[in-house]
Amino acid sequence: MARLNVLITAASRRVALVQAFQRALRRPGVIGKVLVTDVNPLSPAVHMADRAFRVPYADEPDYLDEILAVCEANHVGLIIPTIDDELPLFSARRPMFEASGIRVAISDSHATETCNDKYATSETLRAAGVSAVETWLPGTLPASQELPLFIKPRGGRGGVHAFPASTPDELQFFLRYVKDPVVQRYLTGPEFTLDLLCDFNGTPLSVVPRERVVIRSGVIDRGVTSNDPALMQLALDCARVFNFAGAVNIQCRVVDGVPTVFEINPRFSGGIPLTIAAGADFPQMLVDLALGRRVVPAIGRFTAGLWMSSYESSVFLEKPERTLELCPRLAAENVA
């Protein structure tokens, strides 16, 4: 019987991801638990996981040391980081976890740091001949550039503080309003997420393009899978530029028939349930990789034309403050 415990960081609302890993760990011949970390006992994923731990915030200096302590005390063999801010931290200290026999589904430092910077992402892809949206810093924007344009934070996520500018006055206003902005050419055309999974050596295993038909709060609400070869090739081209590992989501629009990247997030996407339902079970493949099993690339092997229509679901709680166990540092502070 193969044994593996998985830790998902900052689990928050990622209930579907927790459940997908639970299914992967409850197959015949596999046994294990899904642990999560969070800072809020009211987070729904806390109540769906097998165990949940309160840890320091990711910007605290001992964050990763506390994650490691939780993993070692609970025999965790695979970590799934989920938030952009922590990705470069895990990349930089991946050897620390590997020294304890813990795999981290994280891309290398160049990939996580570059993809957290929308300007650097565009520059790196375009220099490698990959179709990516033209992106400028405010001081490099050509004076004659045609409108509309799109302004967003250089390191933002989830569509927060992202605005179209259709007039010179709007452009100047949003350049002042948005903190540390970049300016991108305004792309029109269908929007897609390309869910990509790579093994721990950077080999692409699966690509599933999903059209984002309806988007709510930056996350797909209704969408459909597509087997468009150009979209799948774009994901593979990005994997040629970056040394990815684990799940990656690539955001693009198809402009005049050409898929064009405007953002890359080297982590699981919010719409991953559609990819899993289409037959590309990223959590199961990651579990098998962490167990040392061979996973054969399956590019294009998924159900095309599968729709997802999402809805809200709730968890009802009593005394939720009792549900989060404390990591070693916080436990010691609580005793003191």
Q: How confident is the model at residue 76 (pLDDT cuts 50, 70, 90)?
A: very high
Residue 322 and residue 220 share a domain: no
- pLDDT tens digits, residue range 83-109? 999 999 999 999 999 999 999 999 999
CA 235 to chain centre: 15
Q: What is the pLDDT of residues 257-302, one digit of tens each?
A: 999 999 999 999 999 999 999 999 999 999 999 999 999 999 999 9
Category of 10 on φ-ψ map: left (φ > 0), alpha (ψ -120 to 50) or beta = left
| One domain for residues 207 and 293 | yes
Identity of the residue numbered 68:
L
Helices 63-73 and 328-335: crossing angle in degrees, nearest 10, is: 100
Confidence of residue 161 (pLDDT cuts 50, 70, 90): confident
Mean pLDDT of 13-34: 96
Torsion angles phi and psi, residue 153, rounded to 5: -65, 140
Indicate if 204 and 299 belong to the same structural domain.
yes
Question: Looking at the predicted structure, is the pLDDT value of residue 118 above 70?
Answer: yes
Same domain, 254 and 324: no
Asked, for residue 86, whether it belongs to a domain, the answer is yes
The total number of structural domains that make up the chain: 3
Backbone angles phi, psi at 284, to 5 degrees: -65, -40
- Residue range(s) defining the domain that contains residue 149: 134-185
Residue 51, pLDDT > 90, answer: yes
In a domain, 257, yes or no: yes
Cα dihedral 255/256/259/261 (nearest 10): -30
Same domain, 202 and 302: yes
Task: Indicate whether 317 pLDDT > 90.
Answer: no
CATH number assigned to the domain comprising residue 259: 3.30.470.20
- 60 and 101 belong to one structural domain: yes
For the stretch 201-253, pLDDT in tens is: 999 999 999 999 988 877 888 999 999 999 999 999 999 999 999 999 999 99
Residue (of 80, 116, 72, 125) closest to 96 by Cα position: 72
pLDDT the model gives residue 328:
84
Whole-number Cα distances in Å, 138 to 47, 133, 263, 321: 44, 16, 18, 46
Q: Which of 124, 99, 100, 126 has its CA nearest to residue 113? A: 124
Q: Each residue of 245-263: pLDDT tens digit?
A: 999 999 999 999 999 999 9
Band of residue 312 on the pLDDT scale cut at 50, 70, 90: confident
pLDDT beyond 90 at 322: no
DSSP letter for 172, please: H
Q: Is 160 helix (H, G, I), strand (E, B) or coil?
A: coil
User: What is the pLDDT, as a whole number, of residue 172?
Assistant: 94
- Cα gap 206→303, rounded to integer Å: 12
The pTM of the full predicted model, rounded to 2 decimals, is 0.95
Does 122 fall in a domain? Answer: no
> What would the DSSP string read from start to end of 188-244?
-S-EEEEEEEE-TTS-EEEEEEEEEEEEETTEEEEEEE---HHHHHHHHHHHHHS--
What CATH number corresponds to the domain at position 141? 3.30.1490
Is residue 192 predicted with pLDDT exceeding 90? yes
Where do runs of H (alpha helix) occur along the chain? Answer: 15-24, 44-48, 63-73, 87-92, 94-98, 109-115, 118-127, 168-177, 229-241, 272-277, 282-290, 328-335
Q: Are residues 278 and 261 in the same domain?
A: yes
- Same domain membership, residue 13 and residue 50: yes
> Same domain for 142 and 159?
yes
Kindly state whether residues 151 and 214 are assigned to the same domain. no
158 band by pLDDT with thresholds 50, 70 and 90: low
Give residue for tokens 């806390």: 46
| 89-to-59, 149, 286, 324 alpha-carbon distances in Å | 9, 32, 20, 23
Verify that 215 and 159 share a domain, yes or no. no
The predicted structure's pLDDT at residue 336: 61
Q: pLDDT above 70 covers what percent of the chain? A: 98
- 64 to each of 9, 79, 89, 97, 165, how far by Cα in Å? 11, 11, 8, 9, 40
Q: How far is CA 322 from CA 54, 289, 314, 326, 332, in A?
A: 11, 34, 19, 10, 17
- 25 and 79 share one domain: yes
Average pLDDT, the chain: 94
